[in-house]
Structures are given as C-alpha cells and as structure tokens.
A = this chain, B = another copy of it.
Amino acid sequence: MKRFVALLAMTTALSASAQDKPFAIAIHGGSGTITRATLTPEREAAYRAVLTEALEAGRKVLAANGTSLDAVVAAVKIMEDSPLFNAGKGAVFTHEGTNEMDASIMDGIGRRAGAVAGVTVIRNPIEAARAVMDKSRHVMMAGKGAELFAKDQGLAIVDPKYFWTQERWDQLQKAKERDRIQLDHDAPRKTAALEEDEKFGTVGAVALDRAGNLAAATSTGGLTNKRFGRVGDSPIVGAGTWAENESVAVSATGTGEMFIRGVAAYDIAARVKYKGATPQQAADDALATVKSLGGRGGVIVLDRSGNAVFSFTTEGMYRGVAKGETKPEVLIYR
C-alpha cells in the first residue's frame, strides 16, 4: 500500500510538473496612429475578434503540448488570412499596384531561422519562411526564387488577385496623390513618405511552449506605395524577429528602415544577455534607439518564464497575450 501511494504520488508529481510548466503567446497586429477617435466601435470589435481568434489558435497548440513554432505560425496565419491586417490577404499595395510580402520565423532552439522577401503569390508567407527554415540549407530567399521554392514545397499558391482589397487599393491611390502633392511643392519626402498612412500593419507572434522553448514570427505587406523592391525589417533576422532560449523572443512592427539600423529585435536580446537588463527595460531602450534614428513602432517580447512585455512609441498597437489557461487579453490603445 505504501508503495502504491508512493507510485501514485510520483505519477501525480510528474504529470503535474508537465502540466505546471508555463506556456504563453503574445501577438501584435501592427502599431501606429490608432486612437479611439480614429477607430469606430464596429471596426474595433472586428480587430478584437481576429486578435482573440489568433491568440486562441496559438494557445490551443500550446495547451495540447505543441511547439512554440507551431503556435506562432497558427496565430500569424489567422492574421494573414484576415483583410484587417497588413500581411497576407490584407497586404498593402506597392507603387506598381502589386503586393510584395515579407516574413520571417525563428526557433529559440539553436537559433534556427527562415525568411522570405518580396513574394507575391504565396498565400501564407509565414509558412514559406517556416519551410525555408525547416526544408532548406538557407535562411533567406527572395522574389521569384522564394516562390519557386514554396511551390516545390507544396505550399498554397494563389493568384495575385487574392491579395486585392478595396481598402488597400484606396490607400494606395491616396498615398500616390500625397506623393504628387509633395513633389509639386518639392517638399522633403524623406520622413513623411515612410509613414504614408501612419500605420505599420505588420503582424507577429512570440510564444513559449511547455518544453520551455521560445519562438517568434513576423509577417508583413510592407509600406503602401513602396518601390524598387524595398525590403523592411520584417524578414530580417535580428531586426524584425528574434528568438533564442538563452534570452527572449521578439517580434517588431514600425518604420522598418530604422528597426534595421537599430537591429531592434536582437538589440533587445543583447541588452538582456550582456547587460542584464529586464525585458521591459531592454525593449524600451531599443525603441528609444529606433526613435533617435527617426523611427517609431512597437515590439512584443516574451521571456522563458512566460512573461510578456509590450513597448511602443506610437499612439496605439494592436496586441494581445494569452498565458496558460487564463482568459486572453486584447489591447489596442495606450
């Protein structure tokens, strides 16, 4: 009997230790001039619904002992498939009226990473980034080559028309008009044009699974009216995305150029690793650097204890977090 009780206690302990391990997922759907004044109640409800759905999709994976990699992909795919966010279906238009998307993913185990840039026919760019990481010897693929690889891997390929939405098309026309006006007045375009519609609609997720592994993923349509094959920070490992079990997982959104020049995502990790900064302090300081370079935006950061941190220098950031079995929390405004 004593033996049986001991065995029972051990089994319970083991199972409890597996069940007690923290797991968490945090997401963002872009940052920018997002205020109560600019968002109708209907639109706010629509955003909240998709953000909640994305969090639930990621949490479901984690609750079932899935990997953080699977969780961030599940969450990002929900946002890519929604027309509300600037990624996948809702990607903004380039100057030429096309949609060129970027995405990256990183595995906290061994810093594995994958990214695609400038892809136009891949339904879920985050899946292509995952395939680059899992199925190739490379980290980053661009343009037609990346699309050929995605096709080879059997990923969903769509007609570019799939990415056409009225709202994004209207945004492009407005951006082009403003560009013309600015040219007419010969005003300096440098900063203004980078913030066409004052929203940086990248989406991203960071997760911690019960095995204690971090992962991060980021996906975007880039800037409205972008030209010349412009690549932002989202597909750049270290700038828009970072994950290593030794520090933190990060996904960023904002004026990509300044996030690249600030190596924003890895800078947060470096401050945690080398300076002993807290994730919050590291995130705030990295964004201060981005700000000093003339940029703005936000980051989500997750550590190995499952603590999620948000930091942003814009009016708002679509964001949310789900920790363990507690109710997911969705936030928009400051």
Contact = CB atoms under 8 A, between A and B. Distances in A.
A138 B257 contact: yes
Contact of A136 (B191, B228, B274): B228
A330 B155 CA distance: 49
A271 interface: yes
A228 B190 contact: no
Interface of A: 110-113, 117-118, 136-146, 148-149, 189-191, 193-194, 226-232, 236-239, 256-257, 260-263, 266-267, 270-271, 274-275, 293
* Copies of this protein in the complex: 2
Given A111-B261, A237-B261, A141 B231 contact: yes
Contact of A238 (B144, B189, B232, B263): B263
Interface secondary structure of A, over-half rule: mixed
Contacts of A190: 137
Contact of A140 (B145, B189, B260, B267): B260
Of A230, A231, A260, A266, most B-chain CB atoms within 10 Å: A231
Nearest to A257: B139
22 contacts: A111-B261, A111-B262, A117-B117, A118-B145, A138-B226, A138-B228, A138-B230, A138-B257, A140-B230, A140-B232, A140-B260, A143-B143, A144-B229, A145-B227, A146-B229, A149-B228, A238-B263, A263-B263, A263-B266, A266-B266, A266-B270, A271-B274
